[in-house]
Amino acid sequence: MPARRRRRLGVLPLCAILAPLFAALHLGGATLLPLRELETTVFDLQLRLRGTLPPGPEIALVVIDEKSLAALGRWPLSRARYAELVERLRQEGARVVAFDILFAEPEPPLPPEVGTLLEEAARRLDRPLRDELAAAMQQFRGTVDARFAAAMAAHGKVALPFTFRFDTGGPQNTLPSGTAYASVRAGTREVRSPLHPTGVVAPVAPLADAAGGLGHALIAFDVDGAPRFDYPVLEHDLEYLPSIGVRIAQLYLGVPWEEVRVELGRGIAIGETYVPTDGLMRFAVNYRGPAGTYPSYPLVDVLEGRIPPGALRDRIVLVGANLFGARDLVETPFTSVLPGVERIANIVDSILRGDTLRRPTGAPLVEALAIVIGVLAVGLAVAYFSITGSALAAVAILCALFGAGHFLLVRAGLWFFVVLPGVAMSAAYLVAALYRHLLLDREHRSVRAAFSRYLAPKMIERLLAQPDGLRLGGDLRELTVMFCDLRGSTTLGERLDPERLTRVLNGVLTPLSDVVLEHGGTIAKFTGDGFFAFWNAPVAEPRHAELAARAALAMLETLPDVNARFRDELPFPLEIGVSINTGKAVVGNFGTMRRFDYSAMGDAVNVAARLQEETKTWGLPIMLGPAAAELLPGFATLPLDIVRVRGRAQPIALHALLGDETLAQSDGFVRLRAMQIDLFAALQGGDRVHTAEALDAVRASALPQFAPALAVYAARLEGAATAPA
C-alpha cells in the first residue's frame, strides 16, 4: 500500500475520533482555569490590536480630586457640596447627572466627634431630656440630606447607585418601588446568572425617593481579576434590577422607565436603542481607551465656575472620586488603573453607540463546530503533507481561526473563544504528527536512512513521493551508468603521506560527487580514487542519459576550482576520466541482511567500467557508449572507433563527449563532426589512403580538446604503414 494512502487511513480516523471528543469536552464545560484566563488575555489583546475608539460627545466627568479636596474640605465631602453641585449642573444645562458614590447612610450635620459626644450625653440624661435631645438631633441630621434631595428633585434626572450584598450580615435597606424593570419577557432559555446577591445596599430613603433613577454599580470580576462584564439585568428577590449604566442611558434618551423592555436571555430595549446581551444577561464592556479618554473637570472648578461656557450643556455628567486611597480602580485592556467612574462612562457610551461586546447564546456550539472542522483540517494536513508542510498548514489554520475571531469581535461585537479551539487543534496536530512519525512513517525513515548515502535530498523526497517505484531486492530497468576516475592517483600515493592523500582525495571527490547528486544521480559506491553512479533508479527519470552527460560536463567545469584549492598540496593538476553507458541492468540492494549496498549489476555496468579505461587511451575526459550517444542527439558528440573492451566478445562503438548543445550548434563543431564521421567511416573501411586524407581534413578543423584523439589516429596510421605486408 502506498505510504501516503497508509497515512490517510491512519491519521484521518484518529482525528475523526479526537474532533468530537474535544468538541464534547468544550460543550460539557470541561475548561481548565488557565485556558479560561488565557482566553481573557487574548480578548484584551484583540481590543488592544483594534486600538482606541473616539468617545461619544454625550459624556463628561466631574471628579473629586486632590485639588478639590484641598479647597472644599476633608473626605468624605459633605452632601451639601453635592447639593450645590447638582444645582450648578442644572444651571449649566447638564441633561443627566449620575453619581458613582454610594449614599447608604444619612449624613450627620455635625462632625463625627461632636455627634458622638452628644449621643453619649443623651444616654446619661433622664428620659424626658434624653428623648427631647434625640429628636432634635434627628431633625438636625436630616437637614443636609434634605437639601441634597431637593436639589436632585429640582433637576429631575439624577441617577444614584446602589449595590448588593452577598452575605447575611451588615445593615441592609430597601429600594423604592419602581426601581426594578416593569416589562420583563421570558426568553427561549432559562437565565442562570452566576451572581446571587443576598441583599441590597441602597441610598437612604430621602435621596432614593428624590433620584430620577437607581441602578446598581456592582463590579463583578472575571477569572483574571478584571471587571470585564457589566450586568444590566440582575435578579434579586424575584425582581430584575437595572445597572446604573442602563438608568443613565434611559434618562438621557428620555424613554419612560416603564417602557424599557427586557427579554431574558437576549437583551434590553430602551426605546429605539437595543442593548444585546449574552444568555446570562450581561455584556463585555467595550472600553474606548485608557484613563483620561473622556473630558474631565475638577469638582472645585465646576462649583466656582472655572470651566468653559457650555462645556456641560446637554451632557451626561458623571460624578466620582479620583483620590489616592478613596478611588475604586479597575483593570482594563488599556490600563490597570482606570477610575470606576470612567468605567461607568464606557458602559454608557457603549449602550448609546450600540457597540457592546457579548458572547452569543450559540457561541459554544459555533466553537465546537470550529473545533471539529479545525481538527479534521489539521488531520488532512498531517495525512497529505510532509511534517514541515503540515506544521505550516496547522499554523495557517490557527491564524485563520484567530483572524476570524478578531474580525467578529471588532466588526460585529461578538466574542467567540479562540484559545480553546486553538488548543484543541494544536493538541490534535501533536497527537496526529506523533502517531504518524512513530508508527506510520517508519518505512519513510528507513528509506531515507538507506538512501541518504546515495541520493541528493531532493531525490530522496521524490523517492518518498513515489514509493511504488522502489522494489528492493532487484529490479531490471534501463540505466545510464557513469564511472569517474582520478588521473595520476598512483603517483599521488607515492608523493603524499597517507593523511594528506586522504584529505586531498576526499576534498576532490566531494565536489565531483556533489555535482552528480545535484543532477539526480545515485552514488553506488566510491572506489578510492573514483566512484560509480547511475541514473533512472531508484526514482524513474526519463532524461537519465541527458542528466548524466550534463553532470560529466559540469564535473569538468568544477575541476579547475578543485585544483586551485589544493594547489599547494598537489604536485601536478588533477584530471579525470569519465565514461557513460546506457543499457539494461539489475538495480537493488546487494549484500547480506546485515550489510548491503544499493547498486547495479549487468552488461551496461561492465561496459561503462571498461569504457572508462578508454579515456586513458584516447586522452579524452569523457567517453560514451553507443546507446548513450544515441540518446544525446543535441550534444557535441563524435564517433571515435569500434573497440573490443576487456571481458566482452562483441565490439562496440566508442564516442567522445566534447560539450553541450551550445558547442554542438557552433559552425566549427558542425564542420568537425562532418569530417570526423568521414574519418570514422574510412577507418572502418580499412582504406589507409582515404583515412590519411580524412585525418588531415579533421586535423585542419579540429577543436583543441580533440587534439589527443588525432594523435591516436596518427600513431595508428604510422603503425599500419610500417607493418609488414
Among 214-218, 418-422, 546-550, 644-648, the least confident range: 644-648
Q: Is 90 exceeded by the pLDDT of residue 208?
A: yes
Q: Is 60 exceeded by the pLDDT of residue 124?
A: yes
Q: At what angle do helices 419-435 and 387-412 cross, to 10 degrees?
A: 170
Among 37-41, 125-129, 519-523, the least confident range: 125-129
Identify the pLDDT of residue 454: 54
Identify the pLDDT of residue 319: 96
Beta strands in 552-680 (DSSP E): 576-591, 596-601, 622-624, 636-643, 652-659
Q: Which residue has the cell 565531483?
A: 512
- CB neighbours of 279 closer than 8 A, spacing ≥ 6? 189, 191, 265, 361
> Is 86 or 431 the better-scoring residue by pLDDT?
86
How far apart are alpha carbons 640 and 391 in whole angstroms? 56
CB atoms within 10 A of CB 601: 14
CA distances from 26 to 17, 229, 364, 626, 701 (A): 15, 21, 7, 71, 84
Half-sphere exposure of residue 262, counting CA atoms within 13 Å on the CB side? 27
The whole-angstrom distance between residue 220's C-alpha and the CA centroid of its chain comes to: 33
Sign (positive/negative) of CA torsion 169, 171, 174, 180?
A: negative
How far apart are alpha carbons 163 and 218 in whole angstroms? 5
Taking a C-beta distance cutoff of 8 angstroms, is the pair 349, 365 a contact? no
% of the chain exceeding 70 in pLDDT? 85
Q: Is 90 exceeded by the pLDDT of residue 381?
A: no
How far apart are alpha carbons 365 and 345 in whole angstroms? 33
Taking a C-beta distance cutoff of 8 angstroms, is the pair 428, 375 a contact? yes
User: DSSP states of 399-431 as a string?
Assistant: HHHHHHHHHHHHHH-B----HHHHHHHHHHHHH
Q: Which residue has the cell 481607551?
A: 289
Among 149-153, 317-321, 690-694, the least confident range: 690-694
Bridge-partner residues for 320, per DSSP? 63
Confidence of residue 437 (pLDDT cuts 50, 70, 90): confident
Confidence of residue 337 (pLDDT cuts 50, 70, 90): confident
> Is 101 or 465 the better-scoring residue by pLDDT?
101
Among 1-15, 25-39, 124-138, the least confident range: 1-15
Mean pLDDT of 405-411: 93
Q: What is the mean pLDDT of the chain?
A: 85
How far apart are alpha carbons 42 and 417 in whole angstroms? 9
C-alpha cell at 413: 461585537
pLDDT digits (tens, 9 = 90+) for 469-508: 444 456 888 999 999 999 877 777 778 888 888 888 888 8
β-pair type (267-270, 199-201): unpaired
Predicted model pTM: 0.63
Confidence of residue 384 (pLDDT cuts 50, 70, 90): confident
Identify the pLDDT of residue 441: 60
pLDDT digits (tens, 9 = 90+) for 222-273: 888 888 899 999 998 889 999 999 999 999 999 999 999 999 989 999 999 9
Q: Which residue has the cell 449642573?
A: 89
Q: Select from 368, 390, 361, 366 the least CA-distant residue to 378.
A: 390
How far apart are alpha carbons 121 and 123 in whole angstroms? 5
Confidence of residue 1 (pLDDT cuts 50, 70, 90): very low
3-state helix, strand, coil in the chain (%, to 5): 50, 20, 30
Q: Select from 58, 77, 55 the least CA-distant residue to 66.
A: 77
- CB neighbours of 490 closer than 8 A, spacing ≥ 6? none
Mean pLDDT of 437-454: 60
Identify the pLDDT of residue 388: 86
Instruction: Give the CA angle between residues 434, 437, 441 to the nearest 5°.
Output: 150
How far apart are alpha carbons 610 and 624 in whole angstroms? 11
Q: Which amino acid is at 72?
A: L
Identify the pLDDT of residue 279: 87
Among 310-324, 461-475, 583-597, the least confident range: 461-475
| Local structure of 222: helix, strand or coil | coil
Identify the pLDDT of residue 587: 86
Confidence of residue 12 (pLDDT cuts 50, 70, 90): confident
% of the chain exceeding 90 in pLDDT? 46
β-pair type (636-643, 652-659): antiparallel
Alpha helices in 258-319 (DSSP H): 299-303
Asked whether the bond before 256 is cis by omega within 30 degrees of 0, the reply is: no
> Is 492 or 430 the better-scoring residue by pLDDT?
430
Q: Which amino acid is at 362?
A: G
Confidence of residue 92 (pLDDT cuts 50, 70, 90): very high
How far apart are alpha carbons 238 and 605 in whole angstroms? 96
pLDDT digits (tens, 9 = 90+) for 592-650: 555 556 788 999 999 999 999 899 999 999 999 999 999 999 999 999 999 988 777 78
Identify the pLDDT of residue 685: 81
Sign (positive/negative) of CA torsion 149, 153, 154, 160?
A: positive
Among 60-74, 416-430, 470-484, 697-711, the least confident range: 470-484
pLDDT digits (tens, 9 = 90+) for 678-719: 988 888 887 788 888 888 888 888 788 888 999 998 888 877
Phi first, then psi: give them for residue 477, nearest 5 degrees: -155, 165
Q: Select from 95, 55, 93 the least CA-distant residue to 310.
A: 93
C-alpha cell at 718: 604510422
Identify the pLDDT of residue 229: 92
How far apart are alpha carbons 53 and 708 in whole angstroms? 85
Mean pLDDT of 24-42: 79
Identify the pLDDT of residue 8: 54
The alpha carbon torsion through 469, 473, 477, 479 (nearest 10 deg) reads 100
Q: Which residue has the cell 442562570?
A: 192
Identify the pLDDT of residue 136: 58
Mean pLDDT of 284-309: 93
Half-sphere exposure of residue 609, counting CA atoms within 13 Å on the CB side? 13
How far apart are alpha carbons 595 and 607 in whole angstroms? 27
Confidence of residue 462 (pLDDT cuts 50, 70, 90): low
